[in-house]
Amino acid sequence: MNEMTKLRVGIVGVGLMGHGIAKNVLARGSFPLAFLDHPGNQPVDDLLSLRATACKTPGEVASASDVIILCVTGSPQVEAILTGEAGVLSGLRKGAIIVDCSTALPDSTLRMAAAVEAAGGRFLDAPMTRTARHAEEGTLNLLVGGDEADLRSVRAVLASFTEGVEHVGPVGFGHRLKLLHNYVSIGFMALLGEAAAQAADAGVDPAVFVDVLAKGGGAGVALQRMAPAIVTGDTGTIPFFIDNALKDISYYRMMASNSGASKAIADGVSTAIAAVVESGHGQAYISDLARLLRKTKPAA
């Protein structure tokens, strides 16, 4: 992997986040790209117009790639893609580097990294922060766990779709920090959603509610992102499904349990979000909690 511009890149998971990654690998990075043809993909006509290659199996993606990016829902999907029938490991080229941009459990990550290395490859966990809009713009941030030399080998690829790439420690630390990050972020938004719902039920002007928080201890990125949903009902500023928020909080709680850490507050956040999911609103965006947690429940 000495000539970075000639690296062949593969991606499994061309969804809301993965589509932007794939587009920028092609358009900004000019790397040849193979991707898994899957019904969960976003429309890929633009990728095909940039001469991307569609593959039938993860193993086929791997056999065509020096760097394989994973961008899927969570640990069960990562494990199936890597170790399942016709999985990535079945076609892995010697020395190839897996870059797992999914949100996953650190214990699973360590197992998958060991399996990749046993198959002759290398592994980096590189979960993303920011949103699908940033993925399309090529300005994601990555938290990378793994060997620094492996990271150096793929930096040019990662630079095509990121603004910041931070090496945070050995394998597993990227996913550990992503779960910490998402717990805090989701926790803030859940708290704001519940408070905004109570304020609305009490007849408080939502613009006044946001202004008071913004001028005091409630100020911050979470409030900035939630404000349009609270004030005008525009939930599109945070295109992140409540189902996914519940999954991430569940992963955080599992990680905390495995390490013996306190998780009482996380349990409360999980309970609140789970109730919304159970009421049929899992595919609503998380910013819609300001409406969904009101006393008068909206129609599905």
Relative orientation angle of helices 242-259 and 106-118, to the nearest 10 degrees: 80
How far apart CA 237 and CA 247 sit, in angstroms, is: 20
Residue of 6, 94, 178, 247 marked catalytic: 178
In whole angstroms, what is the distance from residue 188 CA to residue 222 CA?
Answer: 6
178 is catalytic: yes
- In sequence order, which residues have a C-beta less than 8 Å from that of residue 158 and are 6 or more positions away? 99, 126, 142, 165
Which residues are within 8 A (CB) of 39 and not within 5 positions of it... i.e. 6 or more apart? Answer: none
Q: Which amino acid is at 291?
A: R
Catalytic residues: 178
